[in-house]
Amino acid sequence: MNGSFDEQRRVVAPLSDRFDRAGHRLYLVGGIVRDELLGRQVDTPDLDLTTDATPDQMKVLVDGVVDAVWLQGERFGTIGVRLEGRTIEITTHRAEAYTSDSRKPDVSYSMDLAEDLSRRDFTVNAMAVDVADGVLHDPHGGRSDLEAGLLRTPLDPEISFADDPLRMIRAARFVAGYGFTPVPGLVDAATNLADRMEIVSAERKCVELFRLLSLLDPGPGLALLIDAGLVGHVLPGVADLDSRSLSGVLDQMAGAPPEPLLRLAVLGSVVGAAALRDMAVGLRMSGRDTSDLMRLVSTIDDVAGARGPRWSDEAVRRLAANAGDMLHPALRLAVVLELDDRDLGAAVNRLAAAGELDDMGPALDGAAVMDLLGLEPGTQVGEALAWLTDLRFSEGRLDHDEVVRRLSAWWADRT
């Protein structure tokens, strides 16, 4: 197992020197230590540091050393800095815990590194490297657990999970992403405390869920969420499914491309679009993500419900217009779910190459329509634009003169 932290220590050495002269210590902590010991290469990873200095002391110590400072996390004991182009977060040693009904932790500072590490989520994240001398501090056997592939909490799991219930979802991500095996008692503790997930904010649950669904194979993590009774707290749309249906849809999600929205879209065919939208709202997903998710579901439904021996050019144009930016992601998902065997992908590629799927709107804008037909603003303009849109779908791109001729003839027939 690896364990050289020379490059990380070099980057933060200017900070360490300043802190050391003031009688404080800086430690690399968390994921950067875990991944270095595992030999995992992460492109320009963010660096997390912990220290016995308070936030007020940290602000003084970093002044003149770093390129930028931000203080959004100061009330939780964290300040962010940028040094040599790297993002670094420095947090005062702390012991934090959630009260029984609070969505935010009670934070208390500590001068004791060992106490800080004991409040971390898992032993594999509860290791620290002294930036000054490179010594690894591992009071809870995290390195041994890494070597054995075990997922263990530094304290009793019921204490660790009660302190921050989100750790139960994070456990699922570590099982799926690192292949860790939960030690005896860990899943039982999560099962006992599943209802405590209610105090975790929707935004935090959403972030952790997206991280899990971004893994190459989230299957083992999703299985843990089922086993521990957590899945309904994370994906409320599946709460009423029977165990067989639930297992089946989560298998399909795991088989989809490793993108959260694609995997969530799989749920749409099982729970329905309305329930999926409610879930997205409940998870406080961004408006853009919610819109893209629902458009994915709608496109997949269109593909699954299409009839006929093959896709007509008009049907492909209409599908592309409705799907927008989600067309190609939806096609990838349709292939995985085996929803279409009518050469849709080939038809899309052919029309896209010909420019037929670019700018799917009407060939004339409202002002041009009013000028051509002698109209004032009103419903008739909208009717003409709708007709032009149907013309674009049914016959594809036409040159300007042909569009003008066809629109004029249509309007003459109406009047």
Give the domain extent around 128: 1-148
Amino acid at 169: I
Final residue before a domain boundary, out of 314, 341, 360: 360
* Same domain (yes/no): 310, 376: no
Alpha helices in 104-184 (DSSP H): 113-118, 142-148, 157-163, 166-178
Q: Which residue among 119, 148, 177 closes a domain?
A: 148
Are 388 and 376 in a shared domain? yes
pLDDT of residue 44: 61
Identify whether residues 192 and 281 lie together within a single domain.
no
366-373 helix and 400-414 helix, angle to the nearest 10 degrees:
60
Residues 34 and 71 in one domain: yes
Yes or no: say if 80 and 88 are a contact pair by the CB < 8 Å rule: yes
Q: Are 56 and 192 within one domain?
A: no
In a domain, 315, yes or no: yes
- State which amino acid sits at residue 9: R
- Amino acid 399 reads D
Q: How far apart are CA 161 and CA 348, in angstroms?
A: 49
Residues 264 and 345 in one domain: yes
For residue 74, the domain's CATH number is 3.30.460.10
Domain edge (last residue) among 131, 148, 165: 148
Q: For the chain, 415 residues long, give each residue's pLDDT as a single digit of tens.
A: 666 788 889 999 999 999 999 999 999 999 999 999 998 876 666 789 999 999 999 999 999 899 999 998 888 889 999 998 889 999 999 865 555 555 555 667 777 899 999 999 999 999 999 999 999 999 999 999 999 999 999 999 999 999 899 999 999 999 999 999 999 999 999 999 999 999 999 999 999 999 999 999 999 999 999 999 999 899 887 877 888 888 888 888 888 999 999 999 998 878 889 989 999 999 999 999 999 999 999 999 999 888 777 889 999 999 999 999 999 999 999 888 888 767 888 999 999 999 999 888 899 999 999 999 999 999 999 999 999 999 999 999 999 999 999 999 999 988 6
> Is-contact 176 250, C-beta < 8 A?
no
115 with 167, same domain: the answer is: no
* Any domain includes 244: no
Domain count, the chain: 4
Specify the pLDDT at position 240. 78
Residue 250 lies in a domain: no
| pLDDT digits 0-9 by tens, 198-257 | 999 999 999 999 999 999 999 999 999 999 999 989 988 787 788 888 888 888 888 899
Look at residue 2 in the predicted model and tell me its pLDDT.
61
Query: What radius of gyration do the chain's Cα atoms show?
Result: 28
- For 136, the enclosing helix (H) or strand (E) is strand 136-137
Measured CA to CA in angstroms, residue 377 lies from 364, 369, 382, 406 at distances of 15, 10, 9, 21
* Residue 110 to residue 90: CA distance in whole angstroms: 14
- Give me the pLDDT at residue 130, please: 95
Residue 249 in any domain: the answer is: no
Question: Within a domain: residue 160?
Answer: yes
The rounded distance, in Å, linking the Cα atoms of 168 and 25 is 31
pLDDT of residue 408: 94
Beta strands 136-137 and 128-130: pairing type? Answer: antiparallel
Looking at the structure, tell me whether residues 14 and 93 fall in a common domain. yes
| 247, part of any domain | no
Residue 239 lies in a domain: no
Q: Are residues 144 and 154 in the same domain?
A: no
Question: CA 290, CA 302: separation in Å to the nearest integer?
Answer: 18
Contact between residue 52 and residue 65 where contact means Cβ atoms under 8 Å apart = no
Residue 246 confidence (pLDDT) = 83
Residues 128 and 223 in one domain: no
Looking at the fold, whether 291 and 401 belong to one and the same domain comes out as: no
User: Does the residue 338 lie in any domain?
Assistant: yes
- What angle do the packed helices 273-282 and 287-305 form, to 10 degrees? 160
Residue 193 corresponds to which tokens in the numbers above?
């405390």
Is the domain of 283 the same as that of 389? no
Output the domain CATH number for residue 216. Answer: 1.10.110.30
For 166-272, where are the alpha helices, taking DSSP H only? 166-178, 186-192, 202-213, 219-227, 231-234, 243-255, 260-271
Element (H, E) at 88: strand 86-92
